[in-house]
């Protein structure tokens, strides 16, 4: 490494026999105006170690990683890299040290090829054509098949993640940071990723693995540091722990499992009949012959990796895209294909979209105004004028019932954490007394406590006889709360089967679209 | 630390919540920065800046007549800007208020010139025709946008030039006053077709009161009505509006019809007010200046009342600068542009603030100069 040139012998305190830790953080503190994101955090990652960083959303994981990657500067504390104090002031500097990071949200240009994308971000500058053979070689040797000539927009999310990983590997990193890497992968792809990571670790690459999935951490990681509320709340050897004990460290309290008591489903409330619809987005996925019936008093889950038609299916159900045949969608006993979202709401459809900020809620408006957004039918408008008191009352009651942590009903939506905003949106939609409830990614980016509450609320809704449809990438979640399940892959929906009769392996196969060879 | 941070040890940091104080201070800062720029500009042109300021900003409003002129010129700006404000908040970018203003003037003026005597209903009929004319012009853009996804920015802008040429054709041709010595203008409106004045000895007329009333009504619409709320949601988060089932088409139609109608009203108020006839140039770009007025007024109807007065002063100052300082008329446009420029710059600080970059607390820090040469690799200390 270049760094070593500047490290005079005086700096190296360690004896030559034991290698210094690859990364050693001491007393890292970062204060944002509203919150102490990192409070005197210590973290040590050894050579070739897979180290998990566990914590709920808002625990300070992302801030800490941004500090290590040079995106954010700490207010206090020190960073030692292989025994040498360093001041990482930019991602470029981090990369020069040998730190690579695979972000949760990818930063690839869709209209460029893989090689072009990679050439843009690595130093020294190389032509994409020169890079291509190296990409091919690296990707093959690590079992990450990637074609350097392919355009990114044609690639699945899992493939894009491979590109990001290969991009890091090209720089021969000594520390690889992976932020929630499996949230977009099928179970099979997760297994492949783990193999790659274990191989890298065997080659003495250190890996910092950020996740909230406890099973994965226990399967993969050598050690774990748990953050809670910006502080280190514990460290553990994941193998020796149970999910419960790790969760307790993350949340600071015991968790109850939700229970799904068997119950006979009633009449069909939401029905899709061979719904076929071309996506308006040129990079979207068109829906082919989707058949689905959701009955009163059941939760139906739709599994699958995002980008397989989820967005299109949701828009078709909510009415944001209208259907060519009115009969393809029925809500209750009405043909709803031609109705707009407001009309479908009048038929008793409630809807929680995947994007919370900007779709489910208006970021810059208060919770009170965000109650008005969809609950306007609940006595909040009279003679065309807004009844402010009614909006505030509805918002306050939602906040109270669903334990939304916020300043007041006047707080703007974007000031809430993801979990709290989701509780507010779910609560708002539930309080509209729906006959059909559709929820997309109910707990995406939501902390464990809030997930629990949302799951329970959906189960309660089911027990009251509401027809509930949940679309999610999290298989654990679907298995926990669904009566029946199907998989959406390539715009086609597999037959809906009782959850108990659908093993995970089969879901994994279905997610790859294997049974839909025609797609 | 990179070199830049040694010279300028600050960085922009997002505020946790947008600063309300800055929201109000930003137009003031922009106005002050505009004045400072004006000071430098006048000095560079060899004018005594203090005297020039006096000519530009004080003299035009130093007497009752001048104040009347201030209100008079603020009227079309206020009318146009109130309408634009509602549209801009709803994410509908009507750039062509100037064209709607002209068509409003043509429609209302046409009623004055050709309609049979209507007695007391003459003026209301003219104003109504003006509003409908403006709406019609904006409706073209609304229809194209909702039907074919055509950008309303381009369509409204292009329609300005069509309106201008249309007016020019009318006053050069069919509507020209036969007794007008071939000037491109219609015959003068008679007294029953002219808006009543507010004060003897000034030219400000009842349209100013209408504009204020409209601004207040718009403020209520924006903050209290459900239709105003839907438009605001459409502007702040279009996806949320679609999700909640607010019609996108209705939003576009409403925004364009309101802003077109307001601009049309401004047009007819000008020709039925100080101008008193149709002529080839009835507006010195009020419709365009109103865009700046809307933004300086923080896209709030009540803010627009104040900002239209400021913009009106720039027009008056520009005129007196032409007469007394022999400066070109473009000095008005220059001040307008500079004002908007500074406003947009100052607005950055509503959501961001400057923060001093702190040196890191690294144990056993050495003399920073000694590590200068390794800055780009490792800041060993």
Residues B153-178: tens digit of each pLDDT: 999 999 999 999 999 999 999 999 88
Q: How many degrees, rounded to 5, is the angle at CA A357 between CA A375 and CA A283?
A: 115
The answer, yes or no, to whether residue A305 has pLDDT greater than 70, is yes
Q: Does B23 touch chain A (CB under 8 A)?
A: no
Dist. CA A391–CA A250, nearest whole Å: 35
Q: Which residue ranges make up each domain of chain A?
A: 3-251, 265-348+434-519, 361-433
- pLDDT digits over A347-365, tens only? 999 999 988 888 999 998 9
Q: Is the pLDDT of residue A185 over 80?
A: no
Among all residues of chain B, which has the CA nearest to that of A8? Answer: B380
Q: Which whole number is the average pLDDT over A434-444?
A: 92
| Residue in A34, A87, A415 nearest the CB of B360 | A87
> What is the average pLDDT across B98-125?
92
Q: Tell me which chain B residues have a C-beta less than 8 angstroms from the C-beta of A7.
A: 378, 380
Q: Least CA distance to B3: which residue of chain A?
A: A89
pLDDT in the model for residue A3: 38
**CA A249 to CA A54: how far, in whole Å?**
9
Q: Do B362 and A78 touch (CB under 8 A)?
A: yes
A85, A355, A359: residue with CB nearest B380 = A85
* Sheet-wide strand order for A329-331: A287-295, A268-277, A329-331, A334-335
What percent of chain B has pLDDT above 70?
92
Q: Do B246 and A342 touch (CB under 8 A)?
A: yes
The residue of chain B nearest to residue A353, with distances taken between CA atoms, is B243
Give percent of chain B with pLDDT exceeding 90.
57
- On average, the pLDDT of chain B sits at 88
Q: Spell out which residues of chain B touch residue A342, defining contact as CB-CB under 8 Å.
A: 244-247
b (16+ CB within 10 A) / e for A240-272: ebeeeebbbbbbeeeeeebebeeeebeeebbbb
Instruction: Check residue A12 and give its pLDDT.
Output: 41
H helices present in A319-447, as ranges: 341-346, 367-375, 388-401, 418-430
Q: Which of A23, A26, A66, A87 to mutate to test the interface with B (most CBs of B within 10 A)?
A: A87
Cross-chain residue pair B378–A364, CB shorter than 8 Å: no
Q: Is B179 in the A-facing interface, judged by CB distances under 8 Å?
A: no
B12 at the A interface (CB within 8 A)? no
Confidence at A104, pLDDT banded by 50, 70, 90:
low
pLDDT at A55 over 60: yes
Please tell me which of the candidates A6, A344, A372 has its beta carbon nearest to residue B380. A6
Q: Where are the alpha helices (DSSP H) in A203-322?
A: 214-220, 243-251, 310-318
CA of B220: which chain A residue's CA is closest?
A: A385
pLDDT(A439) > 90: yes
Asked if residue B149 has pLDDT above 50, the reply is: yes
**Chain A residue at shortest CA distance from B235:** A362
Residues of B in contact with A5 (CB under 8 A): 377
Predicted local confidence at residue A130, as pLDDT? 87
Task: Determine the residue among B19, B230, B245, B368 to mutate to test chain A binding: the one whose Cβ has the most chain A Cβ atoms within 10 Å.
Answer: B245
Residues of chain B by 3-state class (helix, strand, coil), percent to 5: 70, 5, 25
Residues of B in contact with A87 (CB under 8 A): 360, 362, 378-379, 381
Name chain A contacts of B224, Cβ cutoff 8 Å.
Answer: 385-386
The span from the CA of B324 to the CA of B326, in Å, is 6
Least confident of A139-143, A290-294, B313-317: A139-143
Q: Do B1 and A345 touch (CB under 8 A)?
A: no
Q: What is the DSSP letter of B56?
A: I
Tell me A231's DSSP state: E
- The reported pTM is 0.78
User: Higher model confidence: residue B267 or residue B11?
Assistant: B267
φ/ψ (deg, to 5) at B357: -75, 125
A32: nearest CA partner in chain B = B16
The yes-or-no verdict on residue B137 having pLDDT over 60 is yes
**pLDDT recorded at residue A13:** 43
- In this structure, of A243-252, A453-462, A499-508, B157-166, the range with the lowest mean pLDDT score is A243-252
Q: Which CATH superfamily is domain A265-348+434-519 in?
A: P-loop containing nucleotide triphosphate hydrolases (3.40.50.300)
Whether the domain at A3-251 and the domain at A265-348+434-519 fall into the same CATH topology? yes
A2 has a pLDDT exceeding 80: no
Contacts of A352 in chain B (CB under 8 A): none
Average pLDDT value for residue range A204-210: 92
B224 vs A: CB within 8 A: yes
Half-sphere exposure of A288 (CA within 13 A, CB side): 12
The mean pLDDT value of chain A amounts to 86
- DSSP secondary structure of A184-215: G--HHHHHHHHHHHHHHHHTT-EEEEEES-HH
| pLDDT winner (highest mean) among A118-122, A257-261, A310-314 | A310-314
First to last CA, chain A: 48
pLDDT in tens, B227-282: 999 999 999 999 999 999 999 999 999 999 999 999 999 999 999 999 999 999 89
Closest residue in A to B15 (Cα–Cα): A33
User: What mean pLDDT comes out for the span A106-120?
Assistant: 86
Give the gap in angstroms from C-alpha A81 to the nearest C-alpha of chain B. Answer: 10
Q: Where are the beta strands (DSSP E) in B156-291?
A: none
* Domain A3-251 annotated CATH 3.20.20.70: no
Q: Which of B6, B221, B229 best tests the A interface by mutation, with the highest count of A CBs <10 A?
A: B229
Residue B239 to chain A, least CA–CA distance (Å): 5
| Best to test chain B binding among A339, A385, A391, A421 (most B CBs inside 10 Å) | A385
Q: Which residues of B fall within a CB distance of 8 Å from A345? A: 245
CB under 8 Å to B96, separation ≥6 — which residues? B137, B138, B141, B155, B156, B157, B158, B159, B160, B287
Q: Which of A33, A359, A412 sits opposite B243 (nearest CB)?
A: A359
Candidates A362, A390, A424, partner chain B, best to mutate (most B CBs within 10 A): A362
Question: Cβ distance B25 to B286 under 8 Å?
Answer: no
Q: How confident is the model at residue B372 (pLDDT cuts 50, 70, 90)?
A: very low
Higher-confidence position of B197 and A107: B197
Q: CB B226 to CB A384 under 8 A?
A: yes
The mean pLDDT of B199-208, rounded to a whole number, is: 90
- CB of B54 within 8 Å of a chain A CB? The answer is no
With CB atoms and an 8 Å threshold, state whether B358 touches A381.
Answer: no
For residue B286, pLDDT beyond 80: yes
């Amino acid at each position: 490494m270049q760094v070593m040139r500047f490290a005079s012998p005086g700096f190296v305190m360690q004896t030559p026999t034991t290698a210094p830790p690859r990364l050693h953080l001491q007393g890292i503190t970062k204060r944002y105006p509203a919150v102490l994101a990192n409070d005197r955090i210590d973290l040590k990652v050894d050579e070739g170690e897979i180290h998990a960083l566990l914590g709920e959303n808002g625990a300070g994981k992302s801030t800490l990683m941004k500090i290590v990657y040079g995106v954010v500067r700490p207010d206090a504390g020190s960073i030692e890299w292989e025994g040498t104090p360093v001041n990482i002031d930019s991602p470029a500097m981090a990369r020069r040290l040998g730190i690579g990071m695979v972000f949760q949200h990818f930063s690839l240009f869709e209209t460029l090829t893989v090689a072009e994308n990679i050439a843009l971000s690595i130093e020294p500058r190389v032509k994409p054509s020169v890079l291509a053979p190296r990409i091919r070689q690296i990707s093959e040797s690590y079992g990450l098949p990637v074609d350097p000539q392919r355009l990114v927009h044609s690639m699945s999310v899992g493939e894009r993640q491979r590109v990001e990983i290969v991009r890091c590997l090209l720089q021969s990193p000594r520390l690889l940071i992976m932020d929630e890497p499996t949230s977009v992968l099928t179970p099979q792809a997760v297994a492949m990723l783990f193999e790659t990571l274990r191989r890298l670790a065997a080659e003495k690459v250190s890996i910092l693995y950020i996740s909230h999935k406890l099973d994965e951490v226990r399967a993969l990681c050598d050690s774990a540091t748990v953050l809670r509320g910006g502080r280190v709340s514990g460290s553990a050897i994941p193998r020796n722990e149970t999910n419960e004990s790790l969760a307790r460290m993350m949340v600071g309290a015991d968790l109850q499992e939700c229970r799904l008591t068997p119950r006979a489903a009633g009449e069909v409330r939401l029905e899709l009949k061979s719904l076929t619809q071309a996506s308006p987005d040129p990079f979207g996925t068109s829906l082919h012959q989707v058949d689905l019936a959701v009955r009163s008093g059941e939760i139906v889950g739709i599994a699958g990796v995002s980008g397989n038609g989820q967005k299109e299916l949701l828009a078709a159900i909510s009415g944001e895209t209208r259907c060519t045949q009115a009969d393809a969608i029925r809500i209750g006993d009405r043909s709803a294909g031609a109705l707009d979202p407001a009309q479908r709401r009048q038929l008793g459809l409630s809807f929680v979209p995947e994007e919370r900020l900007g779709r489910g809620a208006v970021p810059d408006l208060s919770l009170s105004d965000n109650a008005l957004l969809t609950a306007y039918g609940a006595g909040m408008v009279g003679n065309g004028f807004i009844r402010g008191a009614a909006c505030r009352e509805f918002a306050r009651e939602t906040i109270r019932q669903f334990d939304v942590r916020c300043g007041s009903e006047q707080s703007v939506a974007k000031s809430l954490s993801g979990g709290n905003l989701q509780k507010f949106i779910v609560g708002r939609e539930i309080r509209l007394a729906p006959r059909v409830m559709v929820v997309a990614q109910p707990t995406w980016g939501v902390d464990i406590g809030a997930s629990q509450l949302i799951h329970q609320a959906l189960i309660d809704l089911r027990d009251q006889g509401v027809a509930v449809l949940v679309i999610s990438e999290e298989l654990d979640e679907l298995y926990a709360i669904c009566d029946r399940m199907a998989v959406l892959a390539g715009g086609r929906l597999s037959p809906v089967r009782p959850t108990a009769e659908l093993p995970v392996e089969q879901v994994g196969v279905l997610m790859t679209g294997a049974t839909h060879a025609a797609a | 630390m990179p070199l830049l941070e040694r010279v300028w040890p600050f960085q922009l940091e997002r505020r946790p919540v947008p600063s309300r104080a800055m929201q109000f201070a930003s137009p003031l800062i922009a106005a002050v920065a505009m004045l400072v720029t004006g000071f430098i500009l006048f000095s560079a042109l060899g004018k005594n800046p203090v005297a020039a300021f006096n000519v530009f900003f004080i003299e035009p409003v130093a007497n009752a007549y001048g104040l009347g002129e201030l209100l008079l010129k603020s009227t079309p700006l206020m009318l146009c800007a109130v309408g634009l404000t509602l549209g801009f908040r709803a994410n509908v970018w009507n750039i062509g208020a100037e064209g709607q203003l002209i068509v409003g003037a043509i429609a209302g003026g046409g009623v004055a010139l050709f309609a049979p005597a209507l007695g007391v209903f003459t003026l209301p009929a003219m104003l109504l025709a003006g509003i409908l004319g403006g709406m019609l012009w904006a409706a073209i853009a609304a229809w194209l946008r909702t039907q074919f996804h055509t950008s309303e920015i381009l369509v409204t802008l292009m329609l300005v030039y069509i309106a201008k040429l249309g007016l020019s054709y009318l006053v050069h041709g069919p509507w020209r006053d036969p007794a007008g010595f071939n000037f491109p203008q219609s015959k003068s409106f008679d007294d029953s077709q002219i808006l009543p004045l507010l004060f003897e000895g000034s030219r400000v007329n009842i349209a100013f009161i209408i504009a204020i009333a409209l601004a207040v009504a718009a403020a209520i619409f924006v903050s209290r009505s459900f239709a105003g709320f839907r438009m605001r949601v459409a502007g702040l988060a279009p996806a949320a509006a679609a999700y909640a089932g607010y019609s996108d088409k209705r939003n576009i139609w409403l925004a364009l019809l309101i802003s077109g109608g307001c601009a049309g009203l401004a047009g007819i108020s000008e020709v039925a007010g100080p101008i008193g006839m149709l002529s080839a140039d009835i507006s010195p770009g009020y419709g365009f200046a109103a865009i700046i007025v809307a933004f300086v007024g923080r896209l709030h109807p009540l803010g627009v009342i104040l900002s239209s007065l400021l913009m009106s002063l720039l027009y008056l100052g520009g005129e007196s600068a032409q007469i007394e300082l022999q400066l070109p008329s473009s000095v008005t446009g220059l001040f307008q542009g500079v004002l908007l420029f500074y406003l947009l710059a100052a607005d950055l600080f509503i959501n961001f603030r400057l923060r001093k970059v702190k040196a890191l607390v690294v144990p056993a820090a050495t003399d920073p100069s000694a590590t200068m040469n390794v800055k780009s690799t490792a800041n060993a200390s």
